Structure 1
Amino acid sequence: MSEILRITDLKASVDEKEILKGLDLVVEKGKVHVIMGPNGAGKSTLAGVVMGNPRYQVTQGKIDFEGEEITEMPVNERAVKGIFLSFQAPQEIPGITVENFLRTAKAQVTGEAVKAIAFKKELYAKMKELDMDKAYASRYLNQGFSGGEKKKNEILQMSVLNPKLAILDETDSGLDVDAVRVVSEGVNRFKNSENSVLVITHHNKMLEYLQPDVVHIMVDGRIVATGDISLAHEIEEFGFDRYKQAEKGESEWKKEVKLI
């Protein structure tokens, strides 16, 4: 199984405060990876850095995407390469409809003109899969949308743009059980052997639907443990305390959790 993303010894800061502190991560093609960690671990910072958000300053290390270094690459070029980020709190954009936004974005990503009638047909089909009324296509992007509708719209964008790597930053946050199921089903329809999904989450409910291949535990700006779904189950039962202690250098904890 080939890797799609490799992050090596990455350090990154925001407003001169170091958040990522020598992080290493490999995401394999065709797999669903999950990152879990306590508040303040740096999970959203990692998502922003991979996407190229200029708010974050990379001070050490590198990011390789499909074997090409992208550490200094701007956001728009990363999007064209095939990286997508679903935001925790999607922004409202008045004056631009969902349909026009997605049609323009798809043209930018593919570098090809998008035919209006064919695109509308595709869009409506994908909206139906997400239990979204097609009337939302003509509404301004996220304006007046509920939290659940905004998250569904993010998954709609992912489905239409069809990236190689989809990063979902707490997409399940604030959703009720039915919305989590619908969003998870959208992710399951998207994933295949040629793309990868990196899910950042605090909760296990979405993982019950996704059944991830790899789970990473992140504490204090580093990935401190990697394993299978059993790691998520352990976190649900015991929390992150043992990983916090291990990160502080307690050798017996390190042996037990098999730090990387």
Structure 2
Amino acid sequence: MKAETCSRIENLTAEIDGKTILNGLTLEVGAGEVHAIMGPNGAGKSTLSYVLAGREGYEVKGGSVTLDGVDLLAMAPHERAAAGVFLGMQYPVEIPGVSNLLFLRTALNAQRTLRGEPEISGADFMKAMKAAAADMGLDFEMMKRSVNQGFSGGEKKRNEMIQMAMLKPKLALLDETDSGLDIDALRVVADGINKMRSPDRATLLITHYQRLLDHVQPDRVHVLMAGRIVRSGGPELALELEAEGYARIAAEAGLANITDAAA
């Protein structure tokens, strides 16, 4: 039986500074599924995650996005977060002077309030944070430090997995979460993603490399070029891209070369 649709993107067109980046992109990610997005630089992969999360500066010119049947594009960024959208950034920012504990409890309670739920108690929050940090192999003392300040690249990505575990999103957008990770950190982060697979969560992994998919077996792999999905397949598609690159798929999509495949 087909899973109930968690997120549906139809003919999405978006631009920044007057330049079209997404050009009629259509994609459906069912509840409980993990989909991977791959493609050449400039194809629109990160733009897709930014548009879905509501990042400022990106203008939607057409199409629709729904999350559990609700119009996502009609919501402000904080409303999308409360509705269940989570964005794991390629380059997590540092926030000096704000501890990880304060940052995450404030974010969590803000979302709960917007959903009409009671705030989480201090005791319950600390218990959940300690468990999430342990799962990600981070010393809990690091959670008392400023957000990402002094963290290595791998620690920043693990910290994002902790945030994801605490916020429990319906739609997790992970933008090159494997960027800057060594082999051990990659395995830990991949294990975190796998642990957070859920029947009511859709996950979209944006990645350049097949190595992450060795550890996180996706349900579907999509190739994004020139702002649209030009090919979809199973995990074997990532292996094909790793071996052959994008040139043949670009030609099959009517794009003369890889430069044209970028938006």
TM-score grouping bracket, smaller chain normalisation: over 0.9
What is the SS of the residue equivalent to 1:171?
coil
What is the SS of the residue equivalent to 1:34?
strand
The aligned counterpart of 2:189 is: 183
Deviation of the 1:249 alpha carbon:
5.8
Asked if 1:167 is matched to 2:169, the reply is no
The aligned counterpart of 1:149 is: 155
Deviation of the 1:192 alpha carbon:
1.3
The aligned counterpart of 1:7 is: 9
The aligned counterpart of 2:97 is: 95
Instruction: Letter of the 1:218 partner, please give it.
Output: L
The aligned counterpart of 1:257 is: none
8 Å contact kept, 1:219–1:243 = no
The aligned counterpart of 1:256 is: none
- Structure 2: how far apart are the matches of 1:12 and 1:192? 30
Instruction: Letter of the 1:21 partner, please give it.
Output: N
- Structure 2: how far apart are the matches of 1:188 and 1:182? 10
The aligned counterpart of 1:255 is: none
What does the per-residue CA deviation read over 1:56-103, in whole Å, with 9 as the maximum and x for residues that have no partner? 000111111111112231100000000100000111111110011111
Instruction: Letter of the 1:42 partner, please give it.
Output: G
The aligned counterpart of 1:220 is: 226
Q: Which of 122, 127, 136 is equivalent to 2:128?
A: 122
Q: 1:249 to 1:133 in 2, by over 3 A?
A: closer
- Structure 1: how far apart are the matches of 2:255 and 2:43? 17
State the identity as a percent.
Answer: 45
> How many pairs are equivalent?
250
- Structure 2: how far apart are the matches of 1:204 and 1:101? 33
- Structure 2: how far apart are the matches of 1:236 and 1:63? 30
Superposed counterparts of 1:24-63, under 5 Å: 24-63=26-65
Deviation of the 1:247 alpha carbon:
2.4
8 Å contact kept, 2:6–2:31 = yes
In the alignment, structure 2 segments of 5+ residues that lack a partner are 257-263
The aligned counterpart of 1:65 is: 67
The aligned counterpart of 2:76 is: 74
| Runs of 4+ with deviation above 6 angstroms | none
Instruction: Letter of the 1:108 partner, please give it.
Output: A
Instruction: Letter of the 2:244 partner, please give it.
Output: F
Asked if 1:244 is matched to 2:250, the reply is yes
Instruction: Letter of the 1:65 partner, please give it.
Output: L
Deviation of the 1:108 alpha carbon:
1.4
Asked if 1:206 is matched to 2:208, the reply is no
TM-score of the aligned structures, taking structure 2 as reference length: 0.93
8 Å contact kept, 2:7–2:202 = no
